[in-house]
Structure 1
């Protein structure tokens, strides 16, 4: 009678099949020995080839029952069969699950969680489990925010914006900028030369205080790369009110540029546009007002005919206006240096500028901005903005000259939608391409601006 042994020799190989599974299933709490290393009797059937273990016996002969955990000694495989056991794999106790923890919450294997802009998946790696995450550069970068605010020698402060959190830098550049770099022929245009005394310019000027009823309010372009359209429409709007001395206070439609200015632009799906082509559109066709064609923040059908009236006749001329056409401007012209820009703003109103934006700018909340050296990604893009004034401020780095600039990311960003940036050093290339245009008001038109070689188209 056979008891606790695989006695027949012809089934010895069958017994070996169970070695690995039996040893893997052995309780990891068993005393490790040595056992068989001391007996010296691994061959044949020797019932006395055993060692005491946990109040019973374990065997080291080749007929030990390897299907029973308590029969073969723990070191049987290594000492008698020459098999190196695989590393133990931790098996959860009943009711226990292996999980990853994030912000106090456990996530089982295979579950995902979003950490800022990266998707992380809970994975089992050997005896451990951990989140494996994507490696995207995030729009809200904790390192930048902490460094700028801790060191306090950059001249500005940073914050974590909820509406930008969770987005990648690529998404921010694609949806929150949207100005295409001017072509070389446009960049090579000579700037307008103005006659004035630079010494007469004041140290401070703010168009929003000088003409509070005429300056366009801050807009939010949303996730549409429309800074080119919003800044163009806003500069033209400001100048209609200022030049007409309040007779034509209007907010022009940026949506018309996005939806209707398709010639040479990349406006489909809000992918951006060129400033020179936007001004050419206004010169030749003009814009309707915002109420007539309101901003939607996405590329929609151009519901205007060539004369600028809605096909279903919803477009109305503002009350008490004598205007019979859309709002047109004369050719746009370029401004060449710091004091020319200042003089132009003081005399005729805000101007339009492009600036090169990198990761840290998205976190700006206040102060006089200049690019830092702590940006982790080299990716950048162009943003169109409206310069409305200038000033000076004493900081821990001395006297800082700045521009006051209107952005199009909403009033909950920056200084109520505005930001200040270092003036006179072409910081972020903000002084490299600055343009303006005269409005053609109903009371006076400007058909012969003497700038034939300096217009931007």
Structure 2
């Protein structure tokens, strides 16, 4: 039953008043008199507890102030003992729920407080950009046919600020200009013989790393590098050294880095070349640490004495006593050269610029939607595993890179994503790095860097 309160709306309009249900409303100056004091009922909902006023009824029960705002002028003074001269602070309503004055709630990534704002209390909220914005999801999915990818609200990201995502879910520090200017290697090959699609997971089935999860630690620089090198040890040893290398060692032991607050790729690859990495079992990933006294390994590690085991190895490969080293890192530039490098030697590490909408990627061939232009961006390192082509619903044929992210298997396409290829989308083709693994040569009886097998 909805009770009449047209008189209240009329009088409020005439007086220039606004009376939402969020706070106590004082109408004692409108036709003052004894209404509730005559009826003597104030509690619960009693529709009969009413008094004629201006051709309609006013009420003296709890329900009048809770939802309807059709209280008699003396309701507050008689039923609640509230003087019209004292501050009126009741609380706020949001989504049909009442919150007392002073309540704190969180809406997405912003904290809101119920407090006085002018005459009535209301929620006043922070204004941080959030990692997942509902408007971004709606905008991307409404353009899915044109963009070629869809967005989703990933539970792990909801309620987090964008600046948290940039600092703790990315982590690659922009390379120094001197590093970015390093000359890429050039290979001699017949580009016309490169296939239209290639997936390293199928070519070297069962030998490559899966999807990592960096957690809330800016460690993409370390995880992507450790996984790329682990893949290359498997490929270049022809499956004889299947090992997962320790990203935590890079986080905790690589000098000049910021650990979970980010790292430089050139310094990480230099550390690998000079000192090598132990296996994951020896130094497990914990999404923690920097190089400020947290390293628990000496610079020169004896795997036999410092670790329980150095990882599995094939026949005729002696037990390792030294960490896993590579040769110096080199840069690969250009679409065809990157394709050739992956096909011959295995996955590579790429740096990409991350926009806000990328955090909401669900499936398809990603390109920046530009719906969040003006928001902060950051740099992220990923592992490129292959490439392919796809015809979009719009009929457009697009080329893409296949890449592994480090946000766990619940994000994207099982932890992987595809991004447009050949147009340097998000700068993903700008800074691509790799190195040759020092694998065991049984003929020479030593470890040295070796290129992968030529496949064509």
- When normalised by structure 2's length, the TM-score is 0.76
Instruction: Indicate how the Cα distance of structure 1 residues 209 and 424 shifts in structure 2: closer, same or farther if over 3 A, else same.
Output: same
Q: Deviations over 1:47-105 (max 9, x none)?
A: xxxxxx889xxxxxxxxxxxxxxxxxxxxxxxxxxxxxxxx999596399722123332
Instruction: Indicate how the Cα distance of structure 1 residues 90 and 343 shifts in structure 2: closer, same or farther if over 3 A, else same.
Output: farther
Cα distance in 1 between the residues matched to 2:155 and 2:266: 34
- The answer to whether 1:430 aligns with 2:428 is yes
Instruction: Indicate how the Cα distance of structure 1 residues 447 and 408 shifts in structure 2: closer, same or farther if over 3 A, else same.
Output: closer
- Report the equivalent of 1:352: 349
- Counterpart among 222, 226, 230 of residue 219 in structure 2: 226
Cα distance in 1 between the residues matched to 2:27 and 2:186: 90
- Report the equivalent of 1:408: 406
- Report the equivalent of 1:277: 267
Cα distance in 2 between the residues matched to 1:406 and 1:330: 23
Tell me which moved more, 287-296 or 302-311: 302-311
- The answer to whether 1:288 aligns with 2:274 is no
Provide the alpha-carbon RMSD of the alignment. Answer: 2.6
Cα distance in 1 between the residues matched to 2:74 and 2:252: 61
Tell me which moved more, 224-233 or 299-308: 299-308
Structure 2 residues without counterparts, runs of 5 or longer:
1-24, 36-72, 83-88, 452-456
Q: 1:379, CA displacement in angstroms? A: 0.8
Contact 1:90/1:127 (8 A) holds in 2: no
- Report the equivalent of 2:338: 341
Cα distance in 2 between the residues matched to 1:185 and 1:25: 70
Tell me which moved more, 152-161 or 122-131: 122-131
Secondary structure in 2 matching 1:441: strand
Q: 1:211, CA displacement in angstroms? A: 1.0
Contact 1:389/1:405 (8 A) holds in 2: yes
Instruction: Indicate how the Cα distance of structure 1 residues 180 and 216 shifts in structure 2: closer, same or farther if over 3 A, else same.
Output: same
Q: 1:373, CA displacement in angstroms? A: 1.6
Q: 1:419, CA displacement in angstroms? A: 0.4
Contact 1:309/1:315 (8 A) holds in 2: no
1:34-433 alignment, distance < 5 Å: 94=80, 98-152=90-144, 153-262=146-255, 264-267=256-259, 270-299=260-289, 301-309=294-302, 313-320=306-313, 321-322=317-318, 323-375=320-372, 377-395=374-392, 396=394, 398-433=396-431
Instruction: Indicate how the Cα distance of structure 1 residues 238 and 448 shifts in structure 2: closer, same or farther if over 3 A, else same.
Output: closer
Secondary structure in 1 matching 2:331: strand
Secondary structure in 2 matching 1:387: strand
Cα distance in 2 between the residues matched to 1:166 and 1:104: 21
Q: 1:214, CA displacement in angstroms? A: 1.5
Instruction: Indicate how the Cα distance of structure 1 residues 120 and 343 shifts in structure 2: closer, same or farther if over 3 A, else same.
Output: same
Q: 1:358, CA displacement in angstroms? A: 1.1
- Report the equivalent of 2:63: none
Q: Which has the larger radius of gyration?
A: 1
Cα distance in 2 between the residues matched to 1:379 and 1:389: 29
Tell me which moved more, 388-397 or 348-357: 388-397
Cα distance in 2 between the residues matched to 1:448 and 1:202: 24
Structure 1 residues without counterparts, runs of 5 or longer:
1-23, 32-52, 56-87, 450-457
Contact 1:174/1:225 (8 A) holds in 2: yes
- Report the equivalent of 2:85: none
- When normalised by structure 1's length, the TM-score is 0.76
Cα distance in 1 between the residues matched to 2:304 and 2:449: 29
Aligned residues: 370
- Report the equivalent of 1:27: 28
Contact 2:439/2:449 (8 A) holds in 1: no
Cα distance in 2 between the residues matched to 1:319 and 1:372: 44
Q: 1:437, CA displacement in angstroms? A: 0.3
Contact 1:303/1:310 (8 A) holds in 2: no
Cα distance in 2 between the residues matched to 1:280 and 1:445: 18
